[in-house]
Structure 1
Amino acid sequence: MNSLAEAAVALGYGLASALVPVVNAEAYAVVAGHRGGHALLAVLALALGQTVGKLLLFESARRGSGRLARTLARRDESGRAAARTARWTAPIRRWLSRRRTALPTVLVSATVGVPPLAVVSLAAGTAGLRRWEFAVVCLSGRMLRFAVLVLPAALA
């Protein structure tokens, strides 16, 4: 496969994995490292696809945060689900609303995966984080994560 086709497949796979949880981008990165060839290009395209997908989540949360809250409030009459959701999302949202902790939280999430980047993307969209800051930090973290995964496979 030529390098352009390989980059296009990695970009598409990264986008799909950002939106569909069962599609595993990390596994793709390891396989790309074992195949050799253009592993660095695959890492860059995969990270770019993941970032675009997470930006879609970020934007959907930013534009629909009020509607989502109203829908959840109507569905849950007992309040248990809302309390459970608040218990998990409140700390992340609080971290993302402060300038000094927002970008490190996104970077750790994008690099390590804890807290999950999908949750952080949604929370960052509702917390008012700047789009370009989120995109740059998310892309940097994903590139670092995939490079660490590809490196041992590429050197073997």
Structure 2
Amino acid sequence: MSSFAEAVVALGYGLASALVPVVNAEAYAVVAGQRGGHALVAVVALALGQTAGKLLLFESARRGSGRLFRKVTHRRRSGRAAARTARWTEPIRRWLSRRRTALPTVLVSAAVGVPPLAVVSLAAGSAGLRRWEFAGACLSGRVIRFAVLVLPAVLA
């Protein structure tokens, strides 16, 4: 596959995986690394696609001005489900509302996966984080994550 074709496929796969949880971008990165050839192109394009998809989530939460967050946290649930939701949403929202902790939270979430990047994307949008800051931290973290996954296959 040519470099351009690899970039287009990886970009599309990254976008799909950002929006549909069962589409696994990490698995695509590992397979792209084992195929060799254009692994760097695949990593960057996959990260760009993921970032574009997470920006869609970010913007939907921003334009919803917190309605989605209120809907998720105030929905009638059993005590266990409400506690689990609050355990993830409250600290993330608190971290993302402070300038000093917002970008490191997004970066760690994008690179490590904890807290989940989808939740962080929604919370960052409703917390008022700047779009370009979110996109930069998300892209950097995703490139790191996919590069770490591809590296062993490329070196082997």
TM over 0.5: yes
The count of residues paired between Structure 1 and Structure 2 equals: 156
Q: 2:73, 2:86 within 8 Å by CA — same for their partners in 1?
A: no
Aligned to 2:130: 130
SS at match of 1:93: helix
- 1:93 alignment partner in structure 2: 93
Counting aligned pairs with the same residue, the percent is 86
Equivalent pair of 2:44/2:143 in contact (CA under 8 Å): yes
Q: 1:137 to 1:71 in 2, by over 3 A?
A: closer
The TM-score normalised by the length of structure 1 is 0.91
Shift of 1:4: 0.6
> 1:124 and 1:93 mapped to 2: Cα distance?
7
Aligned ranges 1:1-156 → 2 under 5 Å? 1-68=1-68, 71=71, 76=76, 84-156=84-156
Which runs of no fewer than 5 residues in structure 2 stay unpaired? none
Superposition deviation, residue 114 in structure 1: 0.4
Pair 1:142–1:62, CA change in 2 (3 A): same
Scaled by the length of structure 2, the TM-score of the pair is 0.91
Aligned amino acid, residue 145 of structure 1: R
- 1:120-156 alpha-carbon deviations (Å, 9 max, x no partner): 0000001110000000010000001100110110111
Q: Deviations over 1:59-113 (max 9, x none)?
A: 0011114443565588638888656533320100000000110000001000000
- Whole-angstrom CA distance in 1 between matches of 2:77 and 2:148: 46
Distance apart, 1:39 and its partner CA: 0.3
- Say what the alpha-carbon RMSD is for the aligned residues: 2.0
One-letter code aligned to 2:139: L
Instruction: Check 1:78–1:21 CA distance in 2 against 1; reply closer, same or farther (3 A cut).
Output: closer
